Amino acid sequence: FNMTNWGFICVVILLSLYSETQGLTHSRFQVKNHGYSTDPKPQFKEKYFPQIMDHFNFNIMGNGTYEQRYLITDQYWKRGSGPIFFYTGNEGDIWEFALNSGFITELAAEQRALVIFAEHRYYGKSLPFGQDSFNIPEVGLLTVEQALADYAIMITELKQQLGASACPVIVFGGSYGGMLSVYMRLRYPNIVAGALAASAPILSTAGMGESKQFFQDVTSDFENYAPECRDAVRGAFQRLQDLAQMEDYGHIQSAFSLCKTPSSYEDIHQLNGLLRNAFTLMAMLDYPYSTHFMGSMPANPVKVACDTMLGGADLLHALKDTAGIVYNSTGDLTCFDLYTLYVECADPTGCGLGFNSLAWDYQACTEIEMCYESNNVSDMFPPMPFTEKHREQYCSKRWGVIPRPGWLKTQFWGDALSTASNIIFSNGDLDPWANGGVRRSLSSSLIAINISEGAHHLDLREANDADPASVIKARKMESDTIAQWVKMEKER
């Protein structure tokens, strides 16, 4: 996610987290140290900001507010003059991003910056209507424009409260968060001096490009490791299709250790989606070390997947074991439940599970366009079309909305970015989202950085001994450019 596919977290756990939110005592700035972080640095404090619910309508909500969560650390900050590094939170719990974006705090230590990670409205604990947030029409205040206005108001007010009016603001974001960072620089250049947009597919999510590109690029990751890996995956899916056509559902249930025997075309479609999603995640998160972001992944998961596919005597069992890298990393599951491990939605790359997935599904039904499809010709997956018509039918039924193709391009410029400035577009060649973003520099201040050995926003992660040279070089370029932007802003 999706660009974010937020984890394979048990829905029960998410529900309990949600109910915990309802018990908050509201105050202007609640502080709560994060209980499960064992890393002594950075020492984030969790706070809540009273945010306007509807920035663009003075009648319906009046000046009503909700509690927007953010994390802050000033341990590196040169108070009053050091820059502010602000992460534009995306589709998930803000702690998930803060604990997986160590480059920002490493850079803050270098450049003596204040660091803020802001949670996106309708995600994590930032629910404007509490338990009713995903009802219709309450969910209607979930838009890109409202989220950007949240960040603009938060930055402005916190600068005033912290005596930081002279401190330049640089925004950071990865994936959808990177898109938001670009949009902040476009929409609020009076507030934001520059933006680092890591793995931000601002073109493909605005309806630009080909629908086959994404799953073609997922396939390329496995093909580049070993062409026979691609062939094995394609062969396994074909074997599954053959069994489905014969309605040999018992064989399928046994081969994939399914909790229930499939009994319909819909069940097989769901199984294909679940399996395709596993390969999507492994391609996105193909880091050179093990991670616990959007689920648990081994080091080099594409290699692990291909070795599993090519090492099995039976293609179907090999495909099941490969999907287990994602869905059963602990080995604790005795069977796969098709409809709880994966939920089909308006984002063919996956929405994840729990409340965050509801929010992302709604966004994919409104402003974020992701009509990506597999075809078994340019990719290794079964044909799974997802056209504008499919999207419209699904979104009308699920949310009562009709998507407006082209709106994001109209609002945020599409590829007509030449009059913008001070944006870094970083992309990793291993990331299937990369070709949906900006891959070449557009001017001296619209800088594209391509990371040959990088997966999804690897450059935002903290330094690691296993980092490839290309990401070390990219971070140095980003650091130098940001320092230059800060200097220029102070001299203005």
Question: Is-cis flag, bond preceding 137, omega within 30?
Answer: yes
Q: What are the pLDDT digits (tens) for 157-190?
A: 999 999 999 999 999 999 999 999 999 999 999 9
Given 431, 459, 467, 470, the catalytic residue: 431
State both tokens at 312.
């099995």
Q: What are the φ and ψ backbone dihedral angles of 32, each rounded to 5 degrees?
A: -145, 115
Structure confidence at residue 25 (pLDDT)? 26
Structure confidence at residue 60 (pLDDT)? 87
Which residues, 6+ apart, have CB-to-CB distance to 166 below 8 Å? 80, 81, 490
pLDDT band at 42 (very low <50, low <70, confident <90, very high): confident
pLDDT band at 389 (very low <50, low <70, confident <90, very high): very high
Looking at the DSSP bridge assignments, the partners of residue 449 are: 426
pLDDT for residue 327 is more than 70: yes
* CA 445 to mean position of chain CA atoms: 25
Domains of the chain, by residue range, sit at: 45-207+411-491, 212-399
Catalytic site residue 431?
Answer: yes
Catalytic site residue 443?
Answer: no
Three-point CA angle 96, 98, 103, nearest 5° = 130
- Give the pLDDT mean for 310-330: 95
Q: What are the pLDDT digits (tens) for 425-445?
A: 999 999 999 999 999 999 999
**Matching residue, tokens 């974006």:** 101
Given 126, 421, 429, 456, the catalytic residue: 456
| Structural contact between residues 475 and 459, judged by C-beta atoms closer than 8 angstroms | yes
What percent of the chain lies above the pLDDT cut of 70? 92
**Matching residue, tokens 């086959």:** 212
At 60 the three-state DSSP class reads: coil
Q: What is the secondary structure of 96-108 as a DSSP string? A: HHHTT-HHHHHHH
Q: What are the pLDDT digits (tens) for 187-226?
A: 999 999 999 999 999 999 999 999 999 999 999 999 999 9
Q: What are the φ and ψ backbone dihedral angles of 424, each rounded to 5 degrees?
A: -105, 125
Alpha-carbon distance of 362 to 367, in angstroms, equals 9
Buried b (16+ CB within 10 A) or exposed e, 70-95: bbbbbebbeeeebbbbbbbbbbbbbb
Q: What are the pLDDT digits (tens) for 122-143?
A: 999 999 999 999 999 999 999 9
Of 370, 379, 228, give the one whose Cα is nearest residue 305: 228
At 460 the three-state DSSP class reads: helix
- Give the pLDDT mean for 233-246: 98
Structure confidence at residue 38 (pLDDT)? 36
pLDDT band at 3 (very low <50, low <70, confident <90, very high): very low
Mean pLDDT computed over every residue of the chain: 92
- Give the pLDDT mean for 333-361: 96
Alpha-carbon distance of 490 to 492, in angstroms, equals 6
- Give the pLDDT mean for 94-107: 97
pLDDT band at 8 (very low <50, low <70, confident <90, very high): very low
Given 133, 175, 204, 426, the catalytic residue: 175
At 172 the three-state DSSP class reads: strand
CATH number for domain 212-399, candidates 3.40.50.880, 1.20.120.980, 3.30.70.1140, 3.40.50.800: 1.20.120.980
| Three-state secondary structure of 411-422 | HHCCCCCCCCCC
| Structural contact between residues 206 and 176, judged by C-beta atoms closer than 8 angstroms | no
| Structural contact between residues 455 and 288, judged by C-beta atoms closer than 8 angstroms | no
pLDDT band at 492 (very low <50, low <70, confident <90, very high): confident
Structural Rg of the chain based on CA atoms? 22
* CA 271 to mean position of chain CA atoms: 23
pLDDT for residue 5 is more than 60: no
Q: What are the pLDDT digits (tens) for 17-30?
A: 333 333 322 222 23
The secondary structure element, H or E, covering residue 253 is helix 249-255
pLDDT for residue 312 is more than 90: no
Alpha-carbon distance of 9 to 19, in angstroms, equals 16
Structure confidence at residue 198 (pLDDT)? 98
Alpha-carbon distance of 355 to 35, in angstroms, equals 22
Catalytic site residue 55?
Answer: no
446-451 vs 84-88, strand pairing mode: unpaired
CATH code for 45-207+411-491?
3.40.50.1820
Q: What are the pLDDT digits (tens) for 280-307?
A: 999 999 999 999 988 899 999 999 999 9
pLDDT for residue 33 is more than 80: no
Query: What is the pTM (predicted TM-score) of this model?
Result: 0.91
| Structural contact between residues 375 and 212, judged by C-beta atoms closer than 8 angstroms | yes
Alpha-carbon distance of 418 to 322, in angstroms, equals 44
Q: What are the pLDDT digits (tens) for 364-384?
A: 999 999 999 999 999 999 999
- Give the pLDDT mean for 331-346: 96
Structure confidence at residue 62 (pLDDT)? 85
**Lowest-confidence range among 21-30, 151-160, 231-240, 453-462?**
21-30
Structure confidence at residue 181 (pLDDT)? 98
| Structural contact between residues 428 and 455, judged by C-beta atoms closer than 8 angstroms | yes
pLDDT band at 41 (very low <50, low <70, confident <90, very high): low
Structure confidence at residue 295 (pLDDT)? 81
**Lowest-confidence range among 21-30, 89-98, 480-489?**
21-30
Q: What are the φ and ψ backbone dihedral angles of 127, each rounded to 5 degrees?
A: -105, 110
45-207+411-491 and 212-399: same fold?
no
Structure confidence at residue 132 (pLDDT)? 97
CA–CA distances in Å: residue 116 to residues 107, 159, 348, 406: 13, 11, 31, 32
